[in-house]
């Protein structure tokens, strides 16, 4: 046989209820051998509950499945309030409900489909995390509608093999009769959220369902929204109920018509029997019954109750129709008993009440609406089930950043403009005096000029020699091996001929948000090699065009060496190549409104000197005696604890008789910062920032480190904290990572020790 037979469920069988009552039109089937209904007289909108898709000439349709209970509630809401708004209806029918469950991401797509009939609905697999020994696993509980589970697993395996998705050690299907279960085991170092975002991005664990509610309405194609479908369905149900009622009315009247004839015959039994006996044949008997009137005053009430238009009753006389006469002739003798006569009268009474009720239905739209309401509520109460598909308020806007793991990277920049990033974990901490490891392969005439740590999601501001600012996220930098060279910045930024990057500033977004939440303004401090400084608002650099933005005007021969975030509770610390430094309050530098200016003098420099570093320090203790007392007492405390005398210069031995209390010492220690100064030959020291007095901008400064002998010039000078590591890179590209705590504390104007 051509078609496979199937047993319908009770709900499926209900689609054909009343189909035998002329409720719908019929048409020949494909070969003309049978008649089939044009539509089914369903009591619920199957188009929405089961959905559908198809392609025709010049048009297509794709309708998602909705929850039966919600659809029924929507119909009832419209019946109760025909002026219900789309938003109110959307609150009842919030979106599709797919048989496979899963999660609809965001309500915008479902709302657009609800109101316009078109839209795109994003569906995600439903997942949860489980712990397997020392690693995590992503467990898929439900998959999007119309997704083939086996093909999805094969696709994931291919992506793992091609290394387009990393961090997965195994995938297996543990589905059973209890339900779907796909286990994606992760490697120990994998970040579950990143792997999951990759799965959503590259596999059918996330799909789009394009809604197009095109349907035929009385043979004409129309684009419907949800309200339109429900309104059309209500109109359809009104027609079905009207046609069903007419069918039942005609059937009841036909039966009542026959019973009236039988009742008349029983009431005139002797005459009827005599007439039949005297007739030569059945046709003659039928004609004789029809040709005369019969007494029927005893059933006049039934005649009026039934109100049969085919019944002829005049002046107490009843005139039979041929159908009634034929029924009398076919009457069996046992029907002539008194009990049967009473049964005929009871049937006439019931049929009369039924006909009256059916006529009332046909004459009252409210009765029809109430029937629709009752039948819809019955369908909901008997067949509805809880929603399977969860609707998340989170709108999906997958950014490339969602696919990038948040991890700290060491960014290395060479003098000739090569840049790369390497995972911080690549560099293990070494003791002071260690040999280090290669951080970058450089040419003979190239060397590393900047190393810093930034998260992959941290924005980086690139300041160029021409005073322009560019912006990139850390993850957009090339990731390479520890000893690799990296890529030229000119390949990443639209630099002009002769333009180089002179300063790179990480701007952690969480830090910016923290400062903004505090109500304080955030600023950027610029410092050039010639000692010029300038302060601008951080917000001036929120929006950076792809081709850059003017940051600062530079004098000929000058270069931008550092840009740092700052606030007015801090001091600016400038360090020079020849071992000098200066410290002055940030608020001594006015905020520049424009960016096309050179700034003001921060420090006077010697003829062969230049600024090599800038840092921001907490605003220090202004009383010199208090600072000197703290330095003296803390140095004595360390000597007592370690038995080692710290190196001190003559400048450190400022005489003071002041003795600080324990509380004063604790408060000073809590606010203490240390400055690490490193020479080009690898000597270094830590010095308390209290030894760096606060002066005014534009001065000549004071000694930062003792130079001479092997100490010829300063390579860097910046604040450090206990518990942190310092990373040092040689001109040849070798890098060493050393704990800050291992670097000896010494006086400001001392030479330090080998690092």
pLDDT at 324: 81
Q: How far apart are CA 579 and CA 34, in angstroms?
A: 104
Q: Which two tokens mark 582? A: 């200066």
**Taking the domains of the chain in order of start, what are their residue ranges?**
126-204, 246-363, 406-620
Dihedral sign for Cα atoms in the order 105, 108, 114, 120: negative
Question: Going by CATH, does the domain composed of 246-363 fall within 1.10.268.10?
Answer: yes
Dihedral sign for Cα atoms in the order 727, 728, 733, 735: negative
pLDDT at 207: 95
Strand-pairing partners, residue 679, are 714
Read off φ and ψ for residue 557, nearest 5 degrees. 85, -10
Pick the catalytic residue from 3, 111, 470, 690: 3
630 counts as catalytic: no
Q: Are 308 and 302 in contact (CB under 8 A)?
A: no
Q: How far apart are CA 593 and CA 532, in angstroms?
A: 17
β-bridge pairing 532-537 and 600-601: antiparallel
Q: What digits encode the pLDDT tens for the residues 417-447?
A: 889 988 887 765 544 544 455 555 555 556 6
Same fold, 126-204 and 246-363: no
- CATH number of this structure's domain 126-204: 3.30.1360.40
Q: How far apart are CA 276 and CA 278, in angstroms?
A: 5
Look up residue 18 and give its DSSP letter. T
pLDDT at 85: 94
β-bridge pairing 135-142 and 390-392: unpaired
pLDDT at 48: 96
Look up residue 699 and give its DSSP letter. S
- Could you give the maximum distance between any two Cα atoms of the chain, in Å? 155
Contacts 24+ apart (CB under 8 A), 366-374: 368/238, 368/241, 368/242, 369/79, 369/238, 371/241, 372/75, 372/79, 372/234, 372/237, 372/238, 372/241, 373/76, 373/79
* Residues in the chain where the model's pLDDT stays below 50: 1, 430-431, 433-435, 653
- Count each helix (H run) and each strand (E run) in the chain, helices first: 17, 40
Collapsing DSSP to helix, strand or coil, 26 comes out as strand
Collapsing DSSP to helix, strand or coil, 259 comes out as helix
Q: How far apart are CA 28 and CA 35, in angstroms?
A: 4
Q: How far apart are CA 550 and CA 466, in angstroms?
A: 9
Q: Which two tokens mark 97? A: 């409900």
Burial profile 261-276: b = 16 or more Cβ within 10 angstroms, e = fewer: bbbbbbbbeeebeebb
Closest CA to 125 of 44, 22, 205: 205
pLDDT at 1: 46
Superfamily of domain 406-620 in CATH is DNA gyrase/topoisomerase IV, subunit A, C-terminal (2.120.10.90)
Q: How far apart are CA 362 and CA 683, in angstroms?
A: 104
Look up residue 646 and give its DSSP letter. P
Q: How far apart are CA 91 and CA 88, in angstroms?
A: 5
Strand order of the β-sheet with 714-720 is: 714-720, 674-679, 683-688, 753-754
pLDDT at 45: 95
Q: How far apart are CA 311 and CA 333, in angstroms?
A: 25
Dihedral sign for Cα atoms in the order 505, 510, 511, 512: positive
Collapsing DSSP to helix, strand or coil, 118 comes out as strand
Q: Which two tokens mark 269? A: 């039994």
Q: Which two tokens mark 483? A: 């000893």
The torsion angle over the Cα atoms of residues 728, 730, 734 and 737, rounded to 10 degrees, is -10
Q: Please give, one letter per residue, the 3-state secondary structure of 297-341.
A: HHHHHHHHHHCCCCCEEECCEEECCHHHHHHHHCCCHHHHCHHHH
Q: Which two tokens mark 479? A: 């990731």
Q: How far apart are CA 229 and CA 295, in angstroms?
A: 56
Q: Are 549 and 593 in contact (CB under 8 A)?
A: no
Q: Which two tokens mark 702? A: 């004071």
Q: How far apart are CA 480 and CA 407, in angstroms?
A: 15
pLDDT at 653: 46
Closest CA to 624 of 590, 655, 666: 655
Give the count of beta carbons closer than 10 Å to the beta carbon of residue 221.
12
Read off φ and ψ for residue 408, nearest 5 degrees. -80, 135
Give the count of beta carbons closer than 10 Å to the beta carbon of residue 211.
23
Q: Are 660 and 633 in contact (CB under 8 A)?
A: yes
**CB half-sphere exposure, 447, CA atoms < 13 A:** 9
pLDDT at 224: 95
Q: How far apart are CA 376 and CA 1, in angstroms?
A: 37
- In which element (H, E) is residue 276 found? helix 269-278
Q: How far apart are CA 666 and CA 672, in angstroms?
A: 10
Read off φ and ψ for residue 89, nearest 5 degrees. -65, -35
Q: How far apart are CA 535 and CA 587, in angstroms?
A: 9
Closest CA to 393 of 105, 94, 67: 105
Q: Are 165 and 205 in contact (CB under 8 A)?
A: no
pLDDT at 619: 85
- In which element (H, E) is residue 550 found? strand 549-550
């Amino acid at each position: 046989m051509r078609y496979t037979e199937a047993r319908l469920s009770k709900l499926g069988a209900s689609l054909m209820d009343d189909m035998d009552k002329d409720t719908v039109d019929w048409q020949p089937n494909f070969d003309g051998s049978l008649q089939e209904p044009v539509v089914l007289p369903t009591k619920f909108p199957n188009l929405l509950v089961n959905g559908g898709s198809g392609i025709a000439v010049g048009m297509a349709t794709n309708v998602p499945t909705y929850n039966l209970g919600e659809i029924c509630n929507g119909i009832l809401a419209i019946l109760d309030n025909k002026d219900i708004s789309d938003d109110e209806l959307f609150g009842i029918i919030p979106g599709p409900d797919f048989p496979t469950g899963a999660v609809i991401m965001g309500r915008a797509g479902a709302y657009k489909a609800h109101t316009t009939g078109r839209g795109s609905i994003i569906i995600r697999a439903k997942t949860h995390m489980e712990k397997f020994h020392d690693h995590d696993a992503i467990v898929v509980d439900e998959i999007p509608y119309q997704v083939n589970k086996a093909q999805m697993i094969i696709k994931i395996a291919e992506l793992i093999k091609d290394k387009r998705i990393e961090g997965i050690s195994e995938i297996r299907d543990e589905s059973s009769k209890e339900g779907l279960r796909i286990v994606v085991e992760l490697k120990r170092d994998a970040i579950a959220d990143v792997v999951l975002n990759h799965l959503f991005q590259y596999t059918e664990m996330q799909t789009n369902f394009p809604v197009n509610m095109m349907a035929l309405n009385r043979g004409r194609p129309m684009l419907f929204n949800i309200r339109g479908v429900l309104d059309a369905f209500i109109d359809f149900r009104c027609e079905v109920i009207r046609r069903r009622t007419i069918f039942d009315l005609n059937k009841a009247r036909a039966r009542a018509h026959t019973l009236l004839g039988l009742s008349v015959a029983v009431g005139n039994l002797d005459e009827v029997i005599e007439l039949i006996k005297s007739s030569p044949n059945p046709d003659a008997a039928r004609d004789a019954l029809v040709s005369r009137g019969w007494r029927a005053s005893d059933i006049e009430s039934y005649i009026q109750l039934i109100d049969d238009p085919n019944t002829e009753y005049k002046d107490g006389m009843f005139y039979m129709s041929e159908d009634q006469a034929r029924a009398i002739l076919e009457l069996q003798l046992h029907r002539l008993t008194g009990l049967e006569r009473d049964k005929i009268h009871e049937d006439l009474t019931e049929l009369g009440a039924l006909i009256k009720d059916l006529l009332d239905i046909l004459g009252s739209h409210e009765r029809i609406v109430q029937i629709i309401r009752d039948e819809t509520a019955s369908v909901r109460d008997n067949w509805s089930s809880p929603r399977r598909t969860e609707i998340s308020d989170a709108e999906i806007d997958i950014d490339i950043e969602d696919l990038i793991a948040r991890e700290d990277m060491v960014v290395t920049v060479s003098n000739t403009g090569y840049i790369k990033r390497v995972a911080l974990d690549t560099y293990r901490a070494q003791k002071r005096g260690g040999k280090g490891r290669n951080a970058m392969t450089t040419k003979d005439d190239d060397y590393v000029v900047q190393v810093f740590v930034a998260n992959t999601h941290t924005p980086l501001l690139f300041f160029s020699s021409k005073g322009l600012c560019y912006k990139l996220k850390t993850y957009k930098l090339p990731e390479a091996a520890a000893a690799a060279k990296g890529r030229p910045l000119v390949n990443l930024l639209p630099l002009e001929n002769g333009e180089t990057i002179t300063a790179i500033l990480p701007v952690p977004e969480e830090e910016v948000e923290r400062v903004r939440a505090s109500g304080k303004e955030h600023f950027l401090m610029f410092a050039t090699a010639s000692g010029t400084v300038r302060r601008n608002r951080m917000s001036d650099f929120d929006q950076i065009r792809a081709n850059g933005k003017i940051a600062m005007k530079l004098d000929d021969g000058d270069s931008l060496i550092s840009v740092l975030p700052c606030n007015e509770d801090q001091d600016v610390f400038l360090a020079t190549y020849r071992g000098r430094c200066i410290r002055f309050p940030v608020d001594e530098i006015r905020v520049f409104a424009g960016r096309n200016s050179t700034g003001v003098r921060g420090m006077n420099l010697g003829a062969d000197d230049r600024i090599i570093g800038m840092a921001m320090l907490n605003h220090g203790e202004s009383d010199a005696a208090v600072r000197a007392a703290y330095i003296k007492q803390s140095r004595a405390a360390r000597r007592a604890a370690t038995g080692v005398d710290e190196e001190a210069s003559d400048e450190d031995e400022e005489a003071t008789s002041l003795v600080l209390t324990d509380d004063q010492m604790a408060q000073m220690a809590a606010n203490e910062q240390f400055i690490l100064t490193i020479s080009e030959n690898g000597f270094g020291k830590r010095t308390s920032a209290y030894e760096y007095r606060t002066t005014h901008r534009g001065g000549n400064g004071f000694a930062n480190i003792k130079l001479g002998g092997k100490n010829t010039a300063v390579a860097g000078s910046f604040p450090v904290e206990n518990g942190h590591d310092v990373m040092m890179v040689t001109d040849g590209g070798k890098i060493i990572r050393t704990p800050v705590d291992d670097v000896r504390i010494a006086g400001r104007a001392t030479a330090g020790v080998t690092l």
